Structure 1
Amino acid sequence: MANIKAFKAIRPSQDKAALVASRSYQAYTKKERKGILSLNPFSFLHIIHPGYKLNKKLSGNKRFKLVHERYMEFLRDNILMKDAQDSLYIYQIEKEDFTCCGIFCGTSVEDYKNDVIKKHEATMQPREELFANYLETVGFNAEAVLITYPDNELISEIVCNKKMEVPNSFFTTTDKIKHKVWKISDKNTISLIQKEFKKMNSIYIADGHHRSASSHLFASNSKEKNPNHSGNEPYNFFMSYLIPESEIKIYEFNRLVKDLNGLSKKEFLSKLDVYYEVENLGFPLYKPKRKHQFTMYLDGEFYCLNLKNKVYNFTDALSKLDTQILFKTVLDPILAIKDLRNDKRIKYGYGKNNIKKMKNEIDCGKFKIGFSMVPVTINEIKAVADAGLVMPPKSTYIEPKLRSGLLIYEL
């Protein structure tokens, strides 16, 4: 069963919510960050990038300690304020082409440890240790883990009824996205929601594998240091945004490769013929239509690659995944790309007009060849996670992408 916790969130004061909430640090270009930091003194970027005011770069524990100091400054100046009651928080995001609504809460590190909270990506120990140290020093969690759960009629009814009320916070950001937050403080309503989650055998991480792994490590370290550990301490939970499976949006990542591994075009196409029926479609943009079908762009022409099922063996949930199929049949054996995470010869593209962007990068000579596929489904993600397997890097680009500083969980 899945255990969730209400908590007293730290939130921006209503008049400054739009100014405080930021995208993740990496989502901005260097120029964008500089502009925001110079023009907006309330941006959460000032907390996570504390060296700006000092005009110097900071790293390690020096940076972490200053992050904590900036956070305390925001609290003292009432830019950030702590709620008086333990609550769950409904958060709705509205974009031109996408709307979703989920619940901010605390999720259990024991559930993570015991695989109630399922994973589908591998994590790297150095990053886990670095972020665990960060959590210990700064004392808060400002970036929620995105977790999906099976659509639930009672939870949906509670959320819909709450959304009929005036939001506790409502603002629109400069990227034309509307943000609404409703606070659920009624104990009976919180209990009803908790009981529904306790009926669920599994919930699934969509985005935030390193954040959840680091939170688990931080909790383990904190438990060892606390002789009076009870299991109720804040460090036993990490902040998550729980969203129904039907409301997440999954996009594909394209693969762009810089060369043909020393092969001529004719030799490369000949090797493809082992696993694929290869059809030259010419110049018009082409997107794949179904699973196990790939778009390939090479030398100004689009190709359709249809997997020969009689040649390729499906052995488990991972082997059925298009990103894994492409790796096992093309990227590794033909193009000699062994390390999808670190090989400098491969790049990943995503977003609107993805095929067109891929074509442009190849036409201008940055890359030699590109591949596209249909997006991974939530059922495929769950099947891989249920089997305890790990998806290839950059298999999914998932929305929503959450704002930092909108709600903060103190540790």
Structure 2
Amino acid sequence: MDTEDTAELLLPRSRAANERLHALIPGGAHTYAKGDDQYPENLAPVISHGRGAHVWDVDGNRYVEYGSGLRSVSLGHAHPRVVEAVRRQLDRGSNFVRPSVVEVEAAERFLATVPTAEMVKFAKNGSDATTAAVRLARAATGRRRVALCADHPFFSTDDWFIGTTPMSAGIPDATNELTVAFPYGDLAATEELLARHPDDIACLILEPATHTEPPPGYLEGLRELADRHGCVLVFDEMITGFRWSEAGAQGLYGVVPDLSTFGKALGNGFAVSALAGRRDLMEQGGLRHSGDRVFLLSTTHGAETHSLAAAMAVLDTYAEEGVTARLHSLGERLAAGVRDAAAGMGVGDHVVVRGRASNLVFATLDEHGRPSQEYRTLFLRRLLAGGVLAPSFVVSSAVSDADIDHTVDVVAQACAVYRKALDAGDPSPWMAGRPVKPVFRRQA
């Protein structure tokens, strides 16, 4: 084994900061997907600051960063237009006892961008919005059960979803029984599920697309099934919103859900999410109807002026600068480079880039073609050593051609080591510690 194969990136300050994090914060981070268990042992950088497509850790290392802010920072860190919009609002106050005029301006701007929706309500995170959609669907239909897409990884931190994961501790069985699942792309299975629970499923909730495109007619078929069985169709557009098109996947594919949820890219890192949808449904959470009131969304910080100002700046930037098209162009260039690099090193069947160009992920497969956390660990170690922080290959619009060229060079070096590990039939000498771990697992 060559010396350069095991070249060590030393992060003493990050290691010390991680110890402090774990001493004070359960899990050492405020989001499980940011946990140091997601990274090779002793190689979890703690970030000092970021600008554009680059971040610096507390040890002074600079990285090209992908998947920024769990896909939320799609324009790059400290984007000048967003920062200036926020700064203007900070001098005017951030929260009042009555709605700010910024709230109506942001709603108008959002609904002009996502014209398939008729009303919108803002919150701070995606779980707020998806759970509000579920509650509204139950109230509108008088039904108990939620049907979610089993092939999509995350919908909410709330019980109705977390009870379906291996991390279901603390959630009563009676709650778990009210959530059922359907497979993505299989209309027949979904129809069978609806028939098995007649007049008892309040909504179908799914991401309209992920690492695979919806099969022809699939979303249209779901729309028809929801109408025929009297349930609410909910699109979780936390990821697809703005990355698939400025109007989300619903704008790209032309299928209109009853309700949809947005977040992540909406604020370019600032905390803002949205529940949007049909007026007759959304109004049930308002004051202009004669039925039972629905406690839809009521968050003290949901309409902070600076976050809504950030959202408006993001929406304007996307529309005026063609950001979605740029994300696709950058992603296509990166995907082609990574695939060529992997193929050139003889691991094209093992380091696999998947997904829409604006939302690329990668798989690390073992000698039998099975997903491998051990090989992922090896791959991530080499990327980090080369100055690439990449839990995914999701680009921001701040990524440059030079960043992509550098990334592809580093990937090629990583793939050379990957090939040696495959030939040896054992990646452990190149892991230098325990493997990275999946987020959803029963034991810590």
Larger strand proportion of the pair: 1
With a CA cutoff of 8 Å and minimum separation of 6, indicate the structure with the bigger relative contact order: 1
Q: Give me the TM-score of the superposition, normalised by structure 1.
A: 0.28
